[in-house]
A and B are shown apart, each in its own frame.
Chain A
Amino acid sequence: MTAMEKKRDYSLVGESTRRAIEIGLASAEWYHTDVPRKTMKELMQRSDGPAIRDTIIWLGGLLLTGLGGIYFWGTWWCVAFFFVYGVLYGSACDSRWHECGHGTAFKTRWMNDVVYQLASFQVMRNPVTWRWSHARHHTDTIIVGRDAEIAVMRPPDLLRAALAFIGVLDAWHSLIAIGRNALGTLTPEEKSYIPEMEQEKAITAARWHMAIYIATLALALSMWSFLPLMLIGLPRLYGCWHMVMTGLLQHIGLADNVIDHRLNTRTVYMNPVSRFIYLNMNYHVEHHMFPMVPYHALPKLHEIIKHDLPAPNPSIWHAYKEVWPVVKRQLRYEDHFLKRGLPPTARPYRGEFHDYSVAAAAE
C-alpha cells in the first residue's frame, strides 16, 4: 500500500503524525540548492534600513488612512480610506508578523519584537503559539500530520477557502483560540509544538489580546458606533483579502509529504505594491530553502538560485489559472497535485519519499 492511499489525517497527534515520524518525513533533511558560503553570508546579513523605511511607510499609511476614515466617517468617502487601511492592517500584518517572527526584518532585535507583537495582534494570532507553529511549518513543510499551517487541505474545502478572503472563519477560530488560551487552556495539539516552559507566555499574550478587544468593543458600545471596530478588529475581516490571495499561492495544489521545497512551494512574480504588502514572500521557494535570508535580499537570492528551481509563475493571475484545474480535480481525487517541471540546469528532485506522489502528479 502506498503512503497516501489512506485519507489524509491532518491532526498533529494522529495516524499521519505517527506515520510521518516512522518513515522519516518528520524533521528530515531537505534539499538545498548549493550556494557558496561567502555568497550566502552576504545574503544573510541583517540591516535595519529597509525595514525601518518599510515600517514608516506602513505605519504612516495606517495613520493617514485611519484618520481619513474617521474624518469622513458617515460619508462614502470613508470607504476608500478604509479600503486601504484594511489592507495595511489586515493583510500587511501577516507578512510583518512572519518576517519579524523569523527575526530577519530588522537587524535590531527589539525592533523585530515590537513589530512582531503589533502584527500578531492585528492578524489575530497568539504571538507565542504561532511562533512555534511556524517553526514546525519550516521543519515539516506540508508534511501531513506535522505541519500546523497547511492552508488548503485535501480534498480542498473550497467554501472555506473562499470565506478566507473575508476572514470570517479564520477570525472566528482565532478569537476562539485566543479566548481559550486567555482562560488558561492549551489544546493537545498546541502542547505538541509549544515547549512547556513557553506555555504560560502563550496564556499571558492571549489575555492582553482579549483585553484590547473587550476595551474596543466597550468603546464601540458606549459610542453606539462601529467606528472603533472599523479601526481595531474588523480590518482583519474586510482587509485580509490580499493576505489570502497571496498566501494561498504559497503551497496550494502542490505536492505534500515531500522533502524538497521545489515540489511543495511556489514562487510567483508580483507587482511592486503586492510585494510591499507581502514583503517579498512571493519568493517563497527561496524563503523556505533559506529562511535566514531577509525579505529585502530575496530578489537577489532568487537570481542566484533560479537555475535550480521551477520557473516562477509570471503573475498572481497565472498562478491561480494554473492551479484551479488541479484543485478541482483534488475534490474527487485527493492524491492529485501539480508537479512543476525543472529547468535543464537544475538538479533533479530527490527520489526518496516522492515516488507515490510523482505517480499522482499533473506535469
Chain B
Amino acid sequence: MAEWIKACEADDVDEEDVIRFDHVGRTFAIYRSPADEYFATDGLCTHEQVHLADGLVMDDIIECPKHNGRFNYKTGVAKGAPVCVNLKVYPVKVEAGSVMIQID
C-alpha cells in the first residue's frame, strides 16, 4: 500500500541539485529543479546500479556519475546510451518545509 514518508527538509537540497535518501533498504534520489520544484526517482542508475545522487542535475536531466547516462528526472525517461531502461519516479509534495514522497 502506498504511503507518504518524509524524505528530507526542503532546504536540504540545493536548487538544481539532488540528494540521496535511504529508507528501509531502498534508496531514492530527491531532486530540486531550477524552478524550485521537487521530484523523486529510484536512487540507482538502471544501467550499472550507481547512485544518481553523485551525478549532475542540468535543467530536467540527471546525469549518472559513472557512465554519463542521462534521465529526465521528472518523467524517469532514459535519454539514450548507455541507459536504456527508464527510472521509476515517485509522487512528491512539500508540506511544512518537508519533502514527502509516496512509495509503495
Contacts and interface: CB of A to CB of B under 8 A. Distances in A.
Interface in A26-58: 27, 40-41, 44-46
Contacts of B66: 138-139, 291
A336 interface: no
B81 to A, nearest CB: 5
A290 B65 contact: yes
Interface in B22-67: 47-49, 54-56, 58, 63, 65-67
A44 B57 CA distance: 10
A306 B49 CA distance: 28
A70 interface: no
A132 B82 contact: yes
Contacts of A104: 68
Interface in A92-142: 102-104, 107, 128, 131-132, 135, 138-139
A132 B84 CA distance: 12
B56 A41 contact: yes
Q: What's the interface size class on B, roughly?
A: 10 to 19
Given A27-B48, A27-B49, A46-B58, A135 B67 contact: yes
B17 A41 contact: yes
B74 interface: no
B56 A138 contact: no
Interface residues of A, number: 22
Nearest to A292: B65
Nearest to B17: A41
B103 to A, nearest CB: 24
A299 interface: no
A341 to B, nearest CB: 28
Contacts of A14: none
A1 interface: no
- Name the residue in B48, B67, B70 with the highest tally of chain A Cβ atoms < 10 Å from its Cβ: B67
B81 A292 contact: no
Contacts of B48: 27, 135, 139
A139 B58 contact: no
A198 B17 contact: no
B67 A198 contact: no
Nearest to B61: A109
Contacts of A195: 84
B70 A292 contact: no
A273 interface: no
Contact of A291 (B47, B49, B67, B70): B67
A23 interface: no
A223 interface: no
Given A131-B82, A139-B66, 12 more contacts: A45-B56, A102-B68, A103-B63, A103-B68, A104-B68, A131-B81, A135-B48, A139-B67, A195-B84, A198-B81, A292-B55, A292-B68
5 contacts: A103-B70, A104-B68, A135-B82, A198-B84, A291-B67
Interface of A: 27, 40-41, 44-46, 102-104, 107, 128, 131-132, 135, 138-139, 195, 197-198, 290-292
